[in-house]
């Protein structure tokens, strides 16, 4: 099949929803074989319902569990012959209790899912990529890892800052093996994660499952919330040869939120 990722094998975590689902669909459209990894089995079934059966495999995986992560990489090697692209997309959103009130296990869970998970996937994937002669890794960070996020307890942004820092370090260590490692820092993207958030923009404590404000203009320069497809096209750029001289980069895809100085009401 022709396409920017023809002949490539990708692992996409968090593929059962939102940005991971959009990335999976676009990678397959561009010719890749994709192993989807997510705790959300029903989501993966839905995402793959209309995809060609020979273009994907699904593995139920909690990214915080080393053996389950290893099983995803083993599946990619067994079924498709290796791994060229790793998309670390799975993540959990911010918690909004004041810092002194947040349960400790919620803080450690932020770091387990958002930092340790991608770390484990890199641990299992890098040797396979080296054997194959190179690869590309995309870690989804967040604008909240680039500036303070008034209104939440800080663990989410810190976990994403740690992941984006890890991105630069791994890029430095594995450029000689032809492995490129980059991060996307999304702004507010219209997915279940963002929709389920409390309204950090106003600092109120209501869940906002059907938040009409997601559809309203905001104060980021482009004046709107982003779509998962707009993260997928950035991920395709980083996964493909179009970005062949880019590694260790943190790329905001945020409607200009970071450029405009950040702040709580940017998305
Ligand atoms: N939506 C936003 O506004 C926004 C902004 C910045 C960054 N992000 C980041 O983008 C990434 C994708 O999120 P999304 O917006 O598509 O949200 P989403 O909730 O639609 O998708 C996240 C997916 O990750 C999966 N997941 C969660 N914990 C997991 C675990 N332990 N193991 C395996 N899978 C797990 C979920 O099941 C879900 O399918 C996340 O890392 C998130 O932190 C989102």
The pLDDT value given to residue 38: 98
Q: Is the CB of 253 under 6 A from ligand 1?
A: no
Is a pLDDT exceeding 80 seen at residue 213? Answer: no
pLDDT in tens, 12-60: 999 999 999 999 999 999 999 999 999 999 999 999 999 999 999 999 9
Q: What is the mean pLDDT of residues 80-88?
A: 98
**Looking at the 3D structure of the chain, how many domains does it have?**
1
Q: Would 261 be classed as within a structural domain? A: no
Is 150 or 34 the better-scoring residue by pLDDT?
Answer: 34
- Residue 211 banded pLDDT, cuts 50, 70, 90: low
Q: Which atom of ligand 1 is nearest to the CA of 197?
A: 3
Tell me which of 11 and 151 has the higher pLDDT: 11
pLDDT band at 199 (very low <50, low <70, confident <90, very high): very low
Sheet with 179-186, side-by-side order of all strands:
56-60, 33-38, 9-13, 85-88, 135-140, 179-186, 250-253
In a domain, 140, yes or no: yes
Tens of pLDDT along 220-255? 899 889 999 999 999 999 999 999 999 999 999 999
Q: What's the gap in Å between 76 CA and the centre of ligand 1? A: 21
* pLDDT-based confidence at residue 95 (cuts at 50, 70, 90): confident
Supply the mean pLDDT for the chain: 91
Give the structural domain span for 63.
Answer: 9-253
Q: Report the residue among 193, 228, 262 best suited for mutation to probe ligand 1: largest number of ligand atoms under 8 A from its CB.
A: 193
- Does position 195 have pLDDT exceeding 80, yes or no? no
Residue of minimum CA distance from atom 17 in ligand 1: 193
pLDDT for res 263: 73
Closest atom of ligand 1 relative to the 143 alpha carbon: 6
Q: What local confidence, expressed as pLDDT, does residue 265 receive? A: 57
Q: Which residue has the higher pLDDT, 146 or 150?
A: 146
Tell me, in angstroms, the distance from the centre of ligand 1 to residue 133's CA: 30
Q: Is residue 48 a part of any domain in this protein? A: yes
Which residue's CA is the nearest one to ligand 1's atom 31? Answer: 62
Give the atom of ligand 1 at the shortest distance from the alpha carbon of 156: 43
In a domain, 265, yes or no: no
Token look-up 């074989």 returns 33
Ligand 1 centroid distance, CA of 176 (Å): 31
Tell me the average pLDDT across 81-97.
95
Length of the chain: 267
CATH label of the domain that carries residue 93? 3.40.50.720
Whether residue 263 lies inside any domain: the answer is: no
Which H or E run includes 179? Answer: strand 179-186
pLDDT at 253: 98
Task: Spot the catalytic one: 27, 96, 156, 257.
Answer: 156
**Residue located nearest, by CA, to atom 37 of ligand 1:** 40
The reply to whether 174 belongs to the active site is: no
Answer yes or no: is the C-beta of 39 below 6 A from any ligand 1 atom. Answer: yes
Residues 95-116: what's their mean pLDDT? Answer: 93
Nearest Cα residue to atom 26 of ligand 1: 90
Residue 134 falls inside a structural domain: yes
Residue 133 has pLDDT above 90, yes or no: yes
For 36: left if phi > 0, alpha if psi spans -120 to 50, otherwise beta; the answer is beta
Asked whether 235 and 23 are in contact (CB, 8 A), the reply is yes
Residue 198 has pLDDT above 50, yes or no: no
Which pTM was predicted?
0.94
Mean pLDDT of 159-167: 98
**CA dihedral defined by 246, 193, 32, 170, rounded to 10 degrees?**
40
Going from the Cα of 3 to the center of ligand 1, the distance in angstroms, rounded, reads: 27
In a domain, 2, yes or no: no
Distance 223 CA to ligand 1 centre (A): 23
Provide the pLDDT for residue 94. Answer: 87
């Amino acid at each position: 099949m022709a396409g920017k990722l023809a002949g490539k094998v990708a692992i996409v975590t968090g593929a059962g929803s939102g940005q991971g689902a959009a990335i999976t669909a676009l990678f397959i459209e561009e010719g890749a074989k994709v192993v989807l990894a997510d705790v959300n089995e029903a989501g993966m079934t839905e995402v793959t319902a209309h995809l060609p059966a020979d273009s994907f495999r699904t593995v139920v995986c909690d990214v915080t569990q080393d053996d389950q992560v290893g099983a995803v990489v083993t599946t990619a090697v067994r079924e498709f012959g290796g791994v060229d692209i790793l998309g670390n997309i799975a993540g959990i959103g911010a918690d909004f209790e004041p810092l002194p009130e947040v349960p400790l296990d919620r803080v450690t869970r932020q770091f387990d899912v958002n930092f340790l998970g991608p770390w484990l996937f890199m641990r299992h994937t890098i040797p396979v990529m080296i054997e194959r002669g190179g690869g590309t890794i995309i870690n989804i960070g967040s604008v909240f890892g680039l500036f303070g996020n008034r209104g939440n307890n800080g663990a989410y942004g810190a976990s994403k800052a740690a992941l984006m820092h890890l991105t630069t370090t791994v890029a430095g260590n594995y450029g000689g093996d032809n492995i490129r490692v980059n991060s996307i820092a999304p702004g507010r993207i219209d997915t279940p994660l963002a929709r389920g958030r409390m309204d950090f923009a106003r600092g109120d404590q209501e869940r906002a499952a059907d938040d009409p404000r997601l559809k309203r203009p905001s104060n980021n320069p482009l004046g709107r919330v982003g779509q998962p497809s707009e993260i997928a096209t950035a991920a395709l750029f980083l996964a493909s040869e179009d970005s062949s001289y880019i590694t260790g980069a943190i790329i905001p895809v945020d409607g200009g939120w970071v450029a405009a100085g950040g702040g709580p009401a940017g998305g």
